[in-house]
Amino acid sequence: MDDQLLIRAYSVGVGDCIYVRIPKACTKDGVVDDFHILIDCGKKGSADLLKVALDHLVQELPKVNGKGRLDLLLISHEHEDHIKGIDPAWFANIKIENIWMSVAIDRTHPQARFTHQFHDMAAMAMRNIAARGLALSPELEDIVERYGIGNDGAVDALRKVLPQQNGIAPLYVHADLKPEALRPPTLTGAVFKVIGPEFDIDSFYLGDAGESVLHGFSASTGVLKPAGKAADCGLPSNISASDFKRLQSRMMSSAFAFAEEEGEVVNNTSVMLLIEWRGRRLLFVGDAEWNTAYREKKKNFAWNTAWALHKDELNKPVDFLKIGHHGSINSTPWNDKEDGARTEASSILDAILPLPDGGVAPSAKAIVSTERTFYKVIPRATLLVEIAKRISNTKVYSTALPPDQLAGLPNFTDYEKKWLGSPQPLRTDLESRLTGKGFVNVMIDPKTAP
């Protein structure tokens, strides 16, 4: 156990809170110790489970002056399901040595100017919709909550409060940083590489259409004012009340579409971290998404960009994959048509998690931090079954779970019943039902001697 690397996914619902312990990879004041990482701390909905996870984590960390020493806090991107638990009070008993986050979160970054305007306009529109107190579907409510004021507080804590509390400066990471620039001073037993996002956020993830997209949406923010302010302004003189309501409805639809597109950009600027340790390669991808193919000077997706620019790192197998975006259909590259055709996306999956030759058992491992809710594509059952063909740590949940628990799973008939009889990667939602624990562990053995 002392020689194994630990990946622990806390069961927090739809969210990532992942602890990584790299054995004997930290040297401080001449003492060799383990290196401790927390990758993201968020979830959708109530944050209660995040507090439980952090309290448990503190007990796992070595103590320095009465606080748990966390060698690295890495935040992949700024959606609530990855940052909701970033509350300075909750980290009061943790001494953070390094804070990393995506360069897209840096509000002073000149190559993310349009991206930040994109975010601000989407946030304004969603908050104005929230202020109207409308009854929304769960899907639309989720989009609105993505831009809540609490999200701003978590980002502010990352950029200012936690660095001040710990006497450090945050590092905004991107693919242009070499491993030597990504080596924390005490890291001695592993190599960190970032293969996404690229430094020029606007060029790679918005492309040459960025400015026109922003201009095309700007009119919507004027119509979608909070109800009280709209009443104060009165109706336009050249439009009837019914036509004005229809106009607002169209604008609202446009606003939601705009916010969804902005959400894609945030996902695609996730930090894609590759850890190399004693002959093993571990890939943590946040919510990075994929598309059909990389296109020069166009809006691109994270996986395609990394494949185009960092194929030397991606075109070989990994020993562990943190399955992206809670098992979403669009965050692990694959042939989603499932027709056997070879695509850029399926080529990426075949490279990082190749199908084993006949009779040879796969050796790679994976985990997905997920929970079945109202989403049709989170997790995507067919994707999980496909990934399971390529990894060793799988489970057939239809036989592992008792019948009463199976029948009580959310949306069991629509999204689970047909697929739980096939092997799937370890899932936090189902493992927590099986074990009663609030986390799932994956152990990685070294391939080479120290």
- List pLDDT tens digits, range 41-60: 999 888 999 999 999 999 99
Dump pLDDT digits (tens) for 123-168.
888 888 888 888 888 888 888 888 887 889 999 999 999 999 999 9
Work out the number of other CB atoms within 10 angstroms of the CB of residue 172. Answer: 20
Tens digit of pLDDT for each residue in 372-410? 887 778 999 999 999 999 999 999 999 999 998 888 888
The torsion angles phi and psi of 428, rounded to 5 degrees, stand at: -65, -35
Q: What is the pLDDT of residue 257?
A: 86
Q: What is the pLDDT at residue 309? A: 97
Beta-bridged to residue 10, according to DSSP, are 439
Residues 179, 314, 286, 371, CA torsion sign = negative
Q: Is residue 235 very low, low, confident or very high in pLDDT (cuts 50, 70, 90)?
A: very low
244 has pLDDT over 60:
no
Mean pLDDT over 237-251 rounds to: 57
Averaged confidence pLDDT in the chain: 90
Q: Is the pLDDT of residue 442 over 60?
A: yes
Q: Which residues of 86-114 are buried (b: 16+ CB within 10 A; e: fewer)?
A: bbbebbebbbbbbbbbbbbbbeebebbeb
- For 80-112, what is each residue's pLDDT tens digit? 999 999 999 999 999 999 999 999 999 999 999
Distance CA 171, CA 375 (A): 34
Tens of pLDDT, residue by residue over 339-378, are 989 999 999 999 999 999 887 899 999 999 999 887 778 9
Contact 271, 78 (CB under 8 A): no
* Dihedrals phi, psi of 94, to nearest 5 degrees: -125, 125
φ, ψ of residue 222 in degrees (nearest 5) = -75, -35
* Residue 157 confidence (pLDDT): 96
Q: What percent of the chain stands above pLDDT 70?
A: 90
pLDDT at residue 230, as a whole number: 41
* Residue-level pLDDT at 317: 98
In the prediction, which pLDDT does 304 show? Answer: 98
Identify the residue whose tokens are 């503190």: 58
Q: How far is CA 103 from CA 100, 188, 355, 376, in A?
A: 9, 25, 34, 31
Q: What is the biggest distance separating any 2 CA atoms in the chain, rounded to whole angstroms?
A: 78
Q: What is the pLDDT of residue 168?
A: 97
| pLDDT at site 255 | 84
pLDDT digits (tens, 9 = 90+) for 401-441: 999 888 888 888 888 999 999 999 999 999 999 999 999 99
The domains of the chain are located at: 5-212+262-444
Encode pLDDT of 175-228 as tens digits.
Answer: 999 999 999 999 999 999 999 999 999 999 999 876 666 666 664 555 455 444
Residue type, 109: H
Does the structure show a pLDDT above 90 at 72? yes
Tell me the residue ranges of DSSP E strands in 258-377. 272-277, 280-284, 320-322, 365-368
Per-residue pLDDT tens for 260-276? 989 999 999 999 999 99
